Amino acid sequence: MVQIDHGAGRKREILEAASRVFRARGLHAAGMRDIAAELGMAVGNLYYYFRDKEDLLAFVQESALSRLLEMAARVRALDLPADQKLRLLLEEHVVSLNDPEEGTPGSLAHLEVEALGEERRAGVLARRDEYEHIVRSLIEEGMDQGLFHRADPKVASLALLGSVNWTVKWFRPEGGKSAREIGRQIADMMVRSLRNE
């Protein structure tokens, strides 16, 4: 299990550089030397913070999941109807993965579970399942409240998560809309697709 320290300034700088390199070269083509060059540091110094690329990828995924689970717990505790909770969760999900200031740097790696070794992958998958269960429970709650039409909640939750997760592949901070604007639009569309009209 990777230890998470959200306040580690140097690690955040490394992840921000890794994010730029991943977007420019592609995650699989990018190496530790490329990330070190982006930072203007010797590759040996980079290994002080991360043993190898898998260690860096695991840190990104654990960081992103910790942040998402904390956010989901806060949203779930709100005194709001299920549709509003789900809309807020999806919006915050997009912000958490993509916003340069509020998000987890390097979150493009969030999708790359297969790049992890078996032991690390099992831990990440268990936490992803925990998060997916929260999304599914909000969908079920919305169905029980008569807000959402009846559908398979597992399929619905995976479809929603596929949509918001994939934003790391195409969102660009320098584009015309902020991560929050994109998140709000996607969340509105996704929740509208579930509503019981």
Structural domains in the chain, sorted by start: 53-194 (1.10.357.10)
pLDDT tens readout for residues 41-71: 888 888 888 888 888 888 888 888 888 999 9
Residue 105: pLDDT band (50, 70, 90) is low
Give the pLDDT of residue 24.
79
Question: In this model, does residue 2 exceed pLDDT 70?
Answer: no
Of residues 54 and 136, more confidently modeled: 136
Average pLDDT over residues 170-184: 89
Average pLDDT over residues 121-138: 93
For the chain, give the mean pLDDT.
87
Residue 141: pLDDT band (50, 70, 90) is very high
- Kindly report the number of other CB atoms within 10 A of residue 59's CB atom: 24
Distance separating alpha carbons of residues 134 and 194, to the nearest angstrom: 16
The three-state secondary structure class of 148 is strand
